[in-house]
């Protein structure tokens, strides 16, 4: 598989805080790569760097050999679609309006003739067809997430970067969205998804990147990366990893029998002044 994005020695520093350091990664056509790790691991920062929305403090991001930060914004928009964690709009656009926004990079180009087909397929993939006339601000959190996923899908790029696409979704729509993302990878797209549910990552990803404190702690097949000892150390909480007795799928769960629940120590009063 060829690399859609090549990242080398990626680092990102803000106000002397190192958010990411020394990350090497190829996102390949034909694969779904899951990025997992505890809060503050650098997952969203990595996605922003790969998207070209953030400029790295060290290292480089290249699309087909070209520096992402040397590419015009319109060119990047035709290369990759990005789904962010937050789904906010200040104006009362309808769901259909929002999904059609995904086609903006193709305006005035031959690909514009595919707008209606792309929008219809995206609405179906995200299961938001019945919501097309609803105003975006009136939607539930899950409905907003699915609409935003449909917008990124309608963009019709060969690279799909998804930041926590299942966070607000019920179990049915989690499976639908990740199933569709995997289908896009099978058709030749390069798909990256930041996930918190480790069992979903195990079930859908071809490879898993495990981040912690801005560093890579593992990169490879789910069974090689999602190991109980590694995850327990990184998450600072006991984790159990096993095979489902019927399907053989990898399942990752907190080991509550081994967990010792402690209350975090309160900060001294003077620290708050």
* CATH code for position 73: 3.40.50.300
Whether 12 maps to a domain, the answer reads yes
Provide the number of structural domains found in the chain. 1
Cβ neighbour number for residue 243 with a 10 Å cutoff: 11
Q: Which residues of the chain have pLDDT under 50?
A: none
Whether 7 maps to a domain, the answer reads yes
How much is the pLDDT for 260?
A: 61
Q: Where are the alpha helices (DSSP H) in the chain?
A: 43-51, 73-79, 95-101, 115-125, 141-154, 171-186, 198-204, 222-225, 228-235
pTM of the model: 0.92
Note the residue count of the chain: 273
CA distance 221 to 28: 14
Whether 123 maps to a domain, the answer reads no
How much is the pLDDT for 258?
A: 76
Whether 130 maps to a domain, the answer reads no
Q: Collapse the DSSP code of 49 into the 3-class scheme (helix H, G, I; strand E, B; otherwise coil) and give the result.
A: helix
How much is the pLDDT for 65?
A: 86
Whether 139 maps to a domain, the answer reads no
Taking a C-beta distance cutoff of 8 angstroms, is the pair 250, 226 a contact?
yes
Whether 268 maps to a domain, the answer reads yes
Q: Which domain holds residue 253?
A: 3-88+156-272
How much is the pLDDT for 46?
A: 97
């Amino acid at each position: 598989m060829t690399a859609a994005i090549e990242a080398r020695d990626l680092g990102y520093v803000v106000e002397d805080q190192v958010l990411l350091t020394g990350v090497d990664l190829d996102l390949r056509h034909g694969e779904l790569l899951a990025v997992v790790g505890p809060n503050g691991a650098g997952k969203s920062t990595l996605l922003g760097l790969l998207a070209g929305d953030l400029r790295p403090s060290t290292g480089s991001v290249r699309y087909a050999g070209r520096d992402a930060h040397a590419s015009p914004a319109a060119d990047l928009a035709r290369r990759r679609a990005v789904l962010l964690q937050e789904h906010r709009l200040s104006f009362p656009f309808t769901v259909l309006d929002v999904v059609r926004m995904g086609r903006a990079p193709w305006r005035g180009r031959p690909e514009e003739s595919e707008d209606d087909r792309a929008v219809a397929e995206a609405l179906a993939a995200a299961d938001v067809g019945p919501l097309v006339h609803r105003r975006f601000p009136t939607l539930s959190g899950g409905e907003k997430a699915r609409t935003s996923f449909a917008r990124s899908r309608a963009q019709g790029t060969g690279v799909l970067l998804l930041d926590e696409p299942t966070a607000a979704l019920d179990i049915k729509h989690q499976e639908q969205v990740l199933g569709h993302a995997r289908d896009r990878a099978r058709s030749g797209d390069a798909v990256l998804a930041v996930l918190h549910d480790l069992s979903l990552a195990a079930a859908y990803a071809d490879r898993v990147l495990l981040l912690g404190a801005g560093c890579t702690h593992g990169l490879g097949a789910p069974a090689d990366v999602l190991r109980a000892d590694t995850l327990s150390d990184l998450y600072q909480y006991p984790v159990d990893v096993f095979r489902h007795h019927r399907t053989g799928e990898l399942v990752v769960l907190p080991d509550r029998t081994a967990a010792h629940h402690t209350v975090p120590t309160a900060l001294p009063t003077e620290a708050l002044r």
